[in-house]
Amino acid sequence: MPIFEYVCSTCNHAFETIVRGNEQPACPACEGRDLVKQLSVFAVSANGSNLDRAPVGPCGSCGDPRGPGACSMN
């Protein structure tokens, strides 16, 4: 089940929630349904590797394997 990040357009509350199937999430603060899905960055952890210490930042340092300028953060 994927975890999605949202910001409520009604009260501006940012939150994460698990979404099952075609379920429509609601804001936990005001129960509003006018939500804006946010771009999520997922974490990777692997013992004994540098994957869990990959730099995060503006384009060119996000760790996209395709190289600088390839990610969707442009």
Q: How far apart are CA 39 and CA 16, in angstroms?
A: 11
Q: Does the global pTM surpass 0.75? A: no
Residues whose CB falls within 8 Å of the CB of residue 59, separated by 6 or more in sequence, listed in order: 68, 69, 71, 73, 74
- What is the residue-level pLDDT of the chain in tens, covering all 74 positions? 678 899 999 999 999 998 888 889 999 999 999 999 998 766 665 555 555 555 555 565 566 667 666 666 54
Q: What is the pLDDT of residue 74?
A: 47
The pLDDT value recorded for residue 58 is: 53
